[in-house]
């Protein structure tokens, strides 16, 4: 801590904000430095990768070719209709006639004897076009491979399902064989030196990217704890400000309203900044809220946020408030968080958390006016929310206990 600053207990909210501002500026300066490094590395990556891409593009281009890079050019849209998909084959297992004759996976059959094969469907139906051909007969098959037309004599075999049906020993692909391949430009050669150059450029890009990633990861681990701690401090200061504002408003304002519940409701909107900032217009009190157990709350105020926050208040009137009454109140608050126990108008809420619970009354057990005894009673309640004790007098409210 800066020795020129006052002790922490004497630091005002304004001074704390000033300290936080100095910390934020320091973090921002570091962030700007990291950003500058990131921009430089990004420029280096571009300087390496763009020439590499241009070098590769100078060697060739991607083109749609039929079945192989050396196949004829094709238009993929022409093969959107299954009837136009060429009969590209895959050999069946078992060293059948097609494999023995020399056919290979990826060959495109264009003719069986004099029958033109235009698509995969023609492959499936060819035996019916030649009823005279029996298993074991030789069939002339024309294919396109690597852009060249080849002719093979294939000896047929019998089908397992139907021994009278001749098979070539092939399967067909249903998908289009019009595929984008990287095709070298005429006169260009993708030599070993060219490959080595491209790989060297790409490895440079990878190396720079790894360095950039390592710097960003290091910055994350260095600065995130500082940012997290600063955010924690800011939240604590904000909470302290809200609580002090809450306490000050209750101590200095005169409640307005025709009933105890309406007074509490109006006062809550003045005292709790969370309620004020979430409502454009001042809300009107609509009466007490009852749960299924008939327990009544004089005020059940909800902030319209993603996770709805609830302020609950109970006024005991002239009934003496003792430890048992507070236990009863805490139990009722816990039950109120079960949505099915609330009024219908609150059933649309999916998730709620308690913002604050306030207990109002005109008569308290004398033990609550002894600070140590009051603290012991509140500690035994074992609650998960802030519980304030507000004493109502003729001149207004006074606070017996408020939790920060």
Helix (H, G, I), strand (E, B) or coil at 86: coil
Give the per-residue pLDDT at 368. 92
Quick check: 364 pLDDT over 90? yes
Query: Would the CA dihedral through 30, 35, 38, 43 be positive or negative?
Result: negative
| Cα distances (angstroms) measured from residue 293 to each of 278, 298, 348, 359 | 30, 15, 20, 19
Residue 38: burial class (beta carbons within 10 Å; 0-12, 13-18, 19+): middle
The stretch 164-192 carries a mean pLDDT of: 71
Q: Is the pLDDT of residue 11 over 90?
A: no
Q: What is the pLDDT of residues 250-286, one digit of tens each?
A: 778 777 888 888 988 888 888 877 777 666 677 888 8
Phi and psi at residue 251, to the nearest 5°: -75, -25
The pLDDT value given to residue 366: 94
Residue 386 scores a pLDDT above 60:
yes
Six-digit token string for 83 = 């009837």
The larger pLDDT score, comparing residue 225 to residue 239, is at: 225
According to DSSP, residue 42 is labeled H
Percent of the chain with pLDDT over 90: 17
Among 4-8, 25-29, 243-247, name the one with the lowest average pLDDT. Answer: 4-8
Nearest in space to 23 (alpha carbons), one of 297, 227, 165: 227
Residue pointed to by tokens 């004829």: 72
pLDDT at 6 (0 to 100): 45
Least confident of 162-166, 267-271, 384-388: 267-271
HSE, side-chain direction, 13 A CA sphere, residue 245: 16
Angle subtended at Cα 351 by Cα 349 and Cα 354, rounded to the nearest 5 degrees: 105
Give the span between the Cα atoms of 247 and 261, in whole angstroms. 19
Q: Is the CB of residue 101 less than 8 Å from the CB of residue 152?
A: yes
Number of H helices, E strands in the chain: 8, 17
C-alpha closest to that of 237 among 11, 6, 2: 11
| pLDDT level of residue 367 (50, 70, 90 thresholds) | very high
Q: Is the pLDDT higher at 93 or at 66?
A: 93
Q: In angstroms, rounded to a whole number, what is the distance separating the alpha carbons of residues 66 and 78? A: 12
The per-residue b/e assignment along 180-210, b for 16 or more CB within 10 angstroms, e otherwise, is ebebeeeeeeeeeeeeeebeebeebbeebee
pLDDT at 356: 86
pLDDT confidence of 2, banded at 50, 70, 90? Answer: very low
Percent residues over pLDDT 70 in the chain: 73
* Winning range, highest mean pLDDT, from 30-39, 156-165, 186-195, 274-283: 156-165
Q: What are phi and psi of 182, to 5 degrees?
A: -85, 115
pLDDT > 70? residue 37: yes
Per-residue confidence (pLDDT) for residue 8, from 0 to 100: 47
pLDDT in the model for residue 7 = 43
Looking at the structure, give the CATH architecture of the domain made up of residues 81-175. Roll (2.30)
Is the pLDDT score of 59 beyond 90? no
Choose the weakest-confidence range: 52-61, 184-193, 314-323, 382-391: 184-193
Where do the domains of the chain lie? 8-60+191-238, 81-175, 254-401
Of the pLDDT bands very low, low, confident and very high (cuts 50, 70, 90), residue 137 is very high
């Amino acid at each position: 801590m800066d020795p020129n600053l006052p002790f922490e207990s004497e630091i005002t909210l304004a001074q704390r904000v000033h300290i936080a501002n100095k910390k934020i500026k320091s973090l921002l300066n570091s962030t700007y430095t990291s950003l500058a490094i990131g921009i430089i590395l990004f420029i280096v990556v571009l300087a390496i990768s763009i020439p590499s891409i241009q070098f590769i593009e100078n060697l060739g281009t991607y083109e749609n070719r039929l079945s192989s890079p050396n196949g004829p050019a094709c238009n993929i849209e022409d093969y959107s209709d299954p009837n136009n998909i060429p009969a590209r084959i895959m050999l069946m297992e078992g060293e059948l006639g097609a494999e023995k004759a020399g056919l290979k996976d990826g060959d495109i059959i264009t003719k069986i004897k004099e029958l033109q094969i235009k698509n995969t469907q023609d492959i499936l139906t060819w035996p019916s076009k030649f009823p005279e051909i029996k298993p074991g007969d030789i069939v002339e098959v024309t294919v396109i491979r690597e852009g060249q037309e080849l002719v093979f004599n294939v000896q047929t075999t019998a089908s397992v399902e139907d021994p009278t049906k001749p098979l070539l020993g092939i399967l067909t692909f249903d998908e289009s064989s019009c595929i984008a391949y990287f095709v070298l430009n005429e006169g260009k050669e993708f030599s070993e030196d060219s490959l080595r150059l491209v790989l060297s450029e790409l490895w440079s890009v990878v190396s720079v990217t790894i360095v950039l990633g390592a710097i960003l990861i290091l910055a994350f681990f260095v600065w995130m704890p500082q940012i997290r701690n600063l955010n924690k401090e800011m939240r604590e200061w904000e909470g302290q400000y809200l609580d002090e504002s809450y306490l000050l408003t209750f101590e200095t304002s005169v409640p307005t309203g025709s009933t105890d519940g309406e007074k509490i409701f109006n006062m809550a909107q003045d005292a709790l900044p969370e309620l004020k900032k979430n409502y454009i217009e001042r809300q009107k009190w609509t009466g007490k809220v009852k749960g299924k157990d008939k327990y009544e709350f004089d005020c059940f105020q909800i902030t319209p946020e993603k996770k709805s926050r609830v302020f609950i208040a109970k006024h005991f009137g002239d009934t003496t408030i003792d430890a048992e009454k507070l236990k009863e109140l805490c139990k009722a608050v816990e039950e109120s968080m079960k949505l099915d126990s609330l009024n219908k108008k609150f059933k649309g809420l999916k998730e709620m958390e308690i913002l604050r619970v306030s207990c109002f009354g005109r008569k308290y057990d004398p033990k609550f006016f002894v600070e140590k005894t009051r603290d012991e009673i509140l500690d035994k309640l074992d609650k998960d929310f802030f519980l304030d004790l507000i004493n109502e007098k003729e001149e207004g409210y006074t606070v017996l206990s408020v939790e920060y």
